[in-house]
Structure 1
Amino acid sequence: MDKLRLLTPGPTPLPEDVRLALARDMIHHRKANFKEIMDRVQQGLKYLFGTKEPVLILTSSGTGAMNAAVTNLFIPGEKVLVVEAGKFGQRWSEIAQAHGLEVVALPIKWGQAVKPRDVENALSRYPDIKGLLVQASETSTGVLHPVKDLAGLCRSSDRLLVVDGISAVGISPCPMDEWGIDCLVTGSQKGIMLPPGLAFISLSQKAWEKAQAAGPGNFYFNLLKEREKCLAGQTLFTPAINLIVALEECLKYFQKHGLDNIFKRQQAMTSLVRTGADSLGLELLAQENYTWGLTSIKLPPGVDGVKLLTRAASDYNVIMAGGQDHLKGRIVRMGHMGYVDWSDLLAGLYALRSCLIRCGGYSGADDYLERAMAAYEEVLGG
């Protein structure tokens, strides 16, 4: 059996130190040794988020943190602007509507990033908007939104910028305090290199003031009480203890190697995959403003993406993701986030080409792997 290569945009492969930490004996979450771990983890999370504010740990998927953001920062009846440029932009709208908010949707063609001027126009048209909800990286398309520019549009007003960084934190720059992000959320199963089960959320001082005024919108995701516990080295409710123990190992990895070096490597792997796909004659969904850590590749007419992914898994043990909604069967999403390296991605490109041909496509490329590797080395400076 070939080595399993998990090239999906979450869950992602885990470093060995993380896997070993997950196997440690259970500890109690109200005792001193857990509090010591929480103190160290908190410092690592602040470094990762680029913030001086507490980073709260929730036992949930990343969507739980999105839900916590909406229900703690906004009061039912308030109006929010949502950038809908893919499946997860739509999720912001669904969460907001479930909380009784009035949603002003800004639809963007899948594969394109939002233009700051369009956001500015929408904010001018609806001066009573209380928040802007957007993805840093839209996982369904592989698009990177201009979060830094969007923060500038909200900074001088009482509007909050709420950013889903689930496919960005630990993968590409998203410094919360420097850019002026009011709420940043992420999940454990992507750039952080943990199994699914933890979510993380941090609020700016402006956001905490809004949360105080709004009051908690639900019982479990009560961020005001969660912050009190966080400052005491605990969590409000029983957490996924083994994941937090392993989280400490992940954060050591970021601090040891440095975020700038990790981001450069992620950029290099993105260049590898994009160059390889282009060399195969395949079109990339996101031509500009593309994210790091994920590449969405269009398939030629007549090639069934579902069958292609099934063959890649059965014939090469390479696991990739497909498209969602109207892109189902039409694109392949190759993840290169988490604990993957260039050799995993070369294997992924080889499986992609082979299965493309077996599913009725064509590629006459013979040096696509060499071109892909050259692009990787060029970014790294070698």
Structure 2
Amino acid sequence: MDKLRLLTPGPTPLPEEVRLTLAKDMIHHRKQGFKDIMFRVQKGLQYLFGTNQPIMTLTSSGTGAMNAAVTGLFSPGETVLVVEAGKFGQRWSDIAQAHKLEVVALPLEWGSAVKPKEVENALSRWSDISGVLIQASETSTGVLHPVQDIARLCSRKGILTVVDGISAVGVSPCPMDEWNIDCLITGSQKGMMLPPGLAFIALSEAALKKAEAVKSQNFYFNLLSEREKCLSGQTLFTPAINLIVALEECLKYFQGHGLEKIYKRQWAMTCMVRAGIDSLGLELLVRENYTWGLTSVKLPPGLDGVKLLDTVASEYNVIMAGGQNHLKGKIVRMGHMGYVDWPDLLAGLHALRSVIIRQGGYSASRDYLEKAMAAYEQAMKDITGNETV
């Protein structure tokens, strides 16, 4: 049996230290030992988020944190601008509408990133907008939005920037304080190299004041109550204890290796996959403003993407993701975030090419693996030409 290679944009493979930690005996979440872990985890999360603000840990999927952000920062009837560049941009709209917010949608072609000028125009046209909801990395397509520029724009206008960093935090730079992000969220199952089940959310001083004014009636996803508990080394309700214990191991990994080095490696793997796909003669869905940690590939006409991924999984033990909504069956999304390395990606490229040819596609390239590896090695060198790892 070939080694299982999980090349999806979440969940992602787990480091051995994390898997071993998950096997430890249970501890109690209201005792001092757990509080000590929470205080250590808090420092690691602040390092990862690039913030001095408290970071709240929720036992939920990333969507739970999205819901907490919308319901905790905005009152029904308020107007928000939503950048809809894919399925998860649309999720912002769905959550906002469920909370009875007025949604100004900024729809984009899937595979396109928003331009700061488009956001500026929308803010000028609708003067009552109080928040912008956006993805850092739109996971359904592999687009990287210019969050820094948009947050700077919103900060000047006194408008909150709420960023879904679920596929960005731990994968590509997204420093909350430096970029003037008011609310940054992420989930455990992607760049953070944990199983699904935890979500994290941090608020700027401006967002905290807004939350205090809103006074959310949420019982479970209550940001003010969670923040108060967070400051005392606790969570509001019973958390996923084993995941938080394992989280400490993940954060040691980030702190031990350093974010700069981890980001460089994630960038190198992105360059690697894109070079391999180009060499195969396949078309990339996103040519500019592409995210790190995920590459979306258009399939040749006539190929069934669902069947292709099933065959890649059954015959090569490589698990990749397909398209969503109108892109289902038309693209393949190869994840390379979290605890993935270059041999995994070589196996993924080989499996993809083999099954495409078998199902009627064509590729004359014989050196696609060599070109992919060369792109990785080049990206791993610094400006002096020295190896960084």
What residue in structure 2 maps to residue 338 of structure 1? 338
Letter in 2 for 1:172: S
Q: CA deviation at 1:234?
A: 0.3
Q: What is the CA–CA distance in structure 1 between the aligned matches of 2:275 and 2:165, rounded to whole Å?
A: 25
2:28 counterpart of 1:33: no
What residue in structure 2 maps to residue 140 of structure 1? 140
Q: What is the CA–CA distance in structure 1 between the aligned matches of 2:133 and 2:232, rounded to whole Å?
A: 30
* CA-to-aligned-CA distance 1:23-65 (integer Å, 9 cap, x gap): 0100000000000000000000000000000000000000000
What residue in structure 2 maps to residue 243 of structure 1? 243
SS at structure 2 position matched to 1:132: strand
Q: CA deviation at 1:217?
A: 3.8
Letter in 2 for 1:256: G
Q: What is the CA–CA distance in structure 2 between the aligned matches of 1:213 and 1:225, rounded to whole Å?
A: 14
Q: CA deviation at 1:359?
A: 1.4
What residue in structure 2 maps to residue 283 of structure 1? 283
Contact 1:307 1:359 in 2 (8 A): no
What residue in structure 1 maps to residue 312 of structure 2? 312
SS at structure 2 position matched to 1:156: helix
Q: What is the CA–CA distance in structure 2 between the aligned matches of 1:201 and 1:140, rounded to whole Å?
A: 21
Letter in 1 for 2:169: V
Q: CA deviation at 1:360?
A: 1.2
Letter in 2 for 1:273: V
Q: What is the CA–CA distance in structure 2 between the aligned matches of 1:329 and 1:222, rounded to whole Å?
A: 39
What residue in structure 2 maps to residue 114 of structure 1? 114
Contact 1:138 1:167 in 2 (8 A): yes
Letter in 1 for 2:95: I
Letter in 2 for 1:221: F
SS at structure 2 position matched to 1:69: helix
Q: What is the CA–CA distance in structure 2 between the aligned matches of 1:348 and 1:337, rounded to whole Å?
A: 14
What residue in structure 2 maps to residue 42 of structure 1? 42
What residue in structure 2 maps to residue 79 of structure 1? 79
What residue in structure 1 maps to residue 58 of structure 2? 58
Q: What is the CA–CA distance in structure 2 between the aligned matches of 1:295 and 1:218, rounded to whole Å?
A: 37
Q: What is the CA–CA distance in structure 2 between the aligned matches of 1:9 and 1:286, rounded to whole Å?
A: 16
Q: CA deviation at 1:358?
A: 1.2
Q: 1:205 to 1:370 in 2, by over 3 A?
A: same
Letter in 1 for 2:288: E
Q: CA deviation at 1:216?
A: 1.5
What residue in structure 1 maps to residue 14 of structure 2? 14
CA RMSD of aligned residues (A): 0.5
Q: What is the CA–CA distance in structure 1 between the aligned matches of 2:302 and 2:365, rounded to whole Å?
A: 19
Letter in 2 for 1:260: E
- Correspondences of 1:74-223 after superposition (within 5 Å): 74-223=74-223
* CA-to-aligned-CA distance 1:170-218 (integer Å, 9 cap, x gap): 0000000000000000000000000000000000000000000001141
User: Which consecutive residues of structure 2, in runs of 5 or more, have no partner in the other structure?
Assistant: 382-386
What residue in structure 2 maps to residue 368 of structure 1? 368
TM-score by length of 2: 0.98
What residue in structure 1 maps to residue 272 of structure 2? 272
Letter in 2 for 1:10: G
Q: What is the CA–CA distance in structure 2 between the aligned matches of 1:309 and 1:246, rounded to whole Å?
A: 31
Q: What is the CA–CA distance in structure 2 between the aligned matches of 1:84 and 1:313, rounded to whole Å?
A: 31
Letter in 2 for 1:48: L
Q: What is the CA–CA distance in structure 1 between the aligned matches of 2:347 and 2:84, rounded to whole Å?
A: 33
Contact 1:278 1:284 in 2 (8 A): yes
Letter in 2 for 1:182: D
What residue in structure 1 maps to residue 302 of structure 2? 302
Q: CA deviation at 1:314?
A: 0.5
Q: What is the CA–CA distance in structure 1 between the aligned matches of 2:306 and 2:217, rounded to whole Å?
A: 40
Q: What is the CA–CA distance in structure 2 between the aligned matches of 1:182 and 1:151, rounded to whole Å?
A: 8
Q: CA deviation at 1:157?
A: 2.5
* CA-to-aligned-CA distance 1:363-382 (integer Å, 9 cap, x gap): 11100000000000000015
Letter in 2 for 1:244: I
Contact 1:22 1:246 in 2 (8 A): yes
User: Which consecutive residues of structure 1, in runs of 5 or more, have no partner in the other structure?
Assistant: none
Q: What is the CA–CA distance in structure 2 between the aligned matches of 1:359 and 1:64, rounded to whole Å?
A: 40
SS at structure 1 position matched to 2:169: coil
Q: What is the CA–CA distance in structure 1 between the aligned matches of 2:256 and 2:63, rounded to whole Å?
A: 29
* CA-to-aligned-CA distance 1:313-345 (integer Å, 9 cap, x gap): 011000000000010000000000110100000
Letter in 1 for 2:378: E
Q: What is the CA–CA distance in structure 1 between the aligned matches of 2:359 and 2:9, rounded to whole Å?
A: 23
SS at structure 2 position matched to 1:179: coil
What is the percentage of aligned positions where both structures have the same residue?
A: 77
Q: What is the CA–CA distance in structure 1 between the aligned matches of 2:241 and 2:340, rounded to whole Å?
A: 25
Q: What is the CA–CA distance in structure 1 between the aligned matches of 2:85 and 2:217, rounded to whole Å?
A: 27
Q: CA deviation at 1:302?
A: 0.5
SS at structure 2 position matched to 1:303: coil
Q: What is the CA–CA distance in structure 1 between the aligned matches of 2:217 and 2:63, rounded to whole Å?
A: 16
Q: What is the CA–CA distance in structure 2 between the aligned matches of 1:278 and 1:242, rounded to whole Å?
A: 42
Q: What is the CA–CA distance in structure 2 between the aligned matches of 1:135 and 1:128, rounded to whole Å?
A: 21
SS at structure 2 position matched to 1:170: coil
Q: What is the CA–CA distance in structure 2 between the aligned matches of 1:173 and 1:158, rounded to whole Å?
A: 24
SS at structure 1 position matched to 2:177: helix
Runs of 4+ in 1 over 3 A off after TM superposition: none
